C-alpha cells in the first residue's frame, strides 16, 4: 500500500475526465476537506455508533446475488469507514474507494481503516467516474449521494460503470416523510448538528450545511423512482430506525447500458 500522502486519481481504467467543478461541488469539497481532521470524532459522537450497524446492513444487501470477480466501489468514500468494512466483508476482492475530497481519504488512510493491497483510493467526481463501462460488480454509497450537485447524474454514472447484474446500495439520510422522523430531523439538524459541530470542529457552517442537505434531498420513494429512471431494476428500500436513515438497493439489468 502507498502512504497517506500518495492518494491520487486513478486514471488508468478509462480516459474519462472530470469537467470543471461547479460552484456547489467546489464549496462542498472545500467544506469536507476543512472538517476532515475531526470528522470521525464527530461521527461517533453524533451517531452513538449506530452507523456501524447501518453499514453492516448495507453490505448484507450488497452481498446478495453479487456478481463474482469484478471490483467493488465505495462511492463518496469519505474517511473510509465503509471501504474498511467492504475489505473485511469481501476478503480478497478488489476495492476502489472514491471521493472528491482528498483530505477525507488521506485522513481515513492515516487512521489505518484500509489495509489490503487490493484496495485503491481515487480522487474523482462521482458524476463523472474515471471508470470504463460495465467494469464493477457492486457499488455502495454511504451518506454521499445527497452531496452531489446532480444526484441523478451520479446514478446514471453508477449504472454505466456496473456490469450487468451489478448491485448498487445506497445508505442515506433521505428527506423524511413521517411526522416523528421530520421532528427528529428538525431537532437533530437545526440544533444538535451545528452546535456539536461548532464545539468540536469550530466550523458551525459546515454542519449547518449537512442539516440543509438532508432537508433538501429526495425522499426515499423519490430516490427509488430516480434509480429506476436511471436504468436500475429490482429497486427496493427499507427504513432504519423509524426512517432516520434508509437503505435502497438496485440492480443493473442485462439490457441496461447506463448513460453516456
β-pairing, 72-75 vs 162-172, is: unpaired
Q: Is residue 207 part of a domain?
A: no
User: Could you give the angle at the alpha carbon of 164 between the alpha carbons of 136 and 238, nearest 5°?
Assistant: 80
Q: Is residue 260 part of a domain?
A: no
Question: What pLDDT is recorded for position 22?
Answer: 59
Question: What pLDDT is recorded for position 255?
Answer: 67
Rounded Cα gap, residues 7 and 242, in angstroms = 38
In the chain, alpha helices (H): 23-35, 39-47, 50-63, 81-89, 102-110, 151-161, 179-187, 193-201, 204-215, 220-229
Range of the domain at 139: 23-175+218-251
Q: Is residue 11 part of a domain?
A: no
Question: What pLDDT is recorded for position 8?
Answer: 37
Residue length, the chain?
Answer: 260
Q: Is residue 189 part of a domain?
A: no
Do residues 94 and 114 lie in contact, with contact meaning Cβ atoms separated by under 8 Å? Answer: no
Question: What pLDDT is recorded for position 178?
Answer: 84
Q: Is residue 65 part of a domain?
A: yes
Q: Is residue 213 part of a domain?
A: no
Q: Is residue 198 part of a domain?
A: no
3-state secondary structure at position 169: strand
Total domains, the chain: 1
Segments of the chain scoring below 50 in pLDDT: 1-21, 256, 259-260
CATH number of the domain enclosing 144: 3.40.50.150
* Cell numbers describing residue 113: 481503516
Q: Is residue 201 part of a domain?
A: no
CA nearest neighbour of 88 among 67, 106, 122, 112:
112
Question: What pLDDT is recorded for position 256?
Answer: 47
68: DSSP letter? S
Question: What pLDDT is recorded for position 126?
Answer: 96
77: Cβ contacts below 8 Å, ≥ 6 apart? 83, 97, 98, 99, 104, 105, 108, 121, 144
Q: In this predicted model, what pLDDT tens digit does every residue of 19-71 receive, in sequence order?
A: 444 577 788 888 888 888 888 887 777 777 899 999 999 999 999 999 998 99
The Cβ of residue 247 has, within 10 Å, a number of other Cβ atoms equal to: 22
Amino acid at each position: 500500500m502507498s502512504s497517506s500522502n500518495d492518494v491520487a486519481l486513478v486514471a488508468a481504467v478509462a480516459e474519462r475526465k472530470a469537467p470543471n467543478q461547479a460552484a456547489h461541488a467546489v464549496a462542498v469539497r472545500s467544506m469536507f476537506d476543512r472538517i476532515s481532521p475531526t470528522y470521525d470524532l464527530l461521527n461517533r459522537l453524533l451517531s452513538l455508533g449506530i452507523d456501524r450497524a447501518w453499514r453492516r446492513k448495507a453490505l448484507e444487501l450488497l452481498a446478495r446475488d453479487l456478481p463474482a470477480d469484478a471490483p467493488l466501489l465505495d462511492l463518496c468514500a469519505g474517511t473510509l469507514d465503509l471501504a474498511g468494512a467492504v475489505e473485511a466483508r469481501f476478503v480478497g476482492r478488489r476495492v476502489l474507494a472514491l471521493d472528491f475530497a482528498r483530505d477525507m481519504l488521506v485522513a481515513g488512510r492515516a487512521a489505518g481503516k484500509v489495509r489490503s493491497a487490493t484496495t485503491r483510493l481515487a480522487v474523482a467526481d462521482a458524476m463523472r467516474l474515471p471508470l470504463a463501462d460495465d467494469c464493477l460488480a457492486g457499488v455502495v454509497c454511504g451518506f454521499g449521494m445527497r452531496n452531489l450537485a446532480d444526484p441523478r447524474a451520479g446514478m446514471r454514472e453508477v449504472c454505466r460503470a456496473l456490469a450487468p447484474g451489478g448491485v448498487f446500495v445506497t445508505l442515506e439520510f433521505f428527506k423524511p416523510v413521517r411526522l416523528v422522523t421530520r421532528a427528529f430531523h428538525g431537532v437533530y439538524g437545526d440544533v444538535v448538528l451545528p452546535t456539536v459541530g461548532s464545539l468540536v470542529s469550530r466550523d458551525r457552517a459546515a454542519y449547518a450545511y449537512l442539516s440543509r442537505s438532508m432537508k433538501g434531498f429526495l425522499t426515499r420513494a423519490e430516490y427509488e423512482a430516480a434509480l429506476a429512471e436511471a436504468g436500475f431494476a429490482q429497486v427496493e428500500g427499507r427504513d432504519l430506525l423509524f426512517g432516520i436513515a434508509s437503505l435502497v438497493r438496485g440492480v443493473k439489468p442485462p439490457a441496461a447500458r447506463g448513460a453516456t
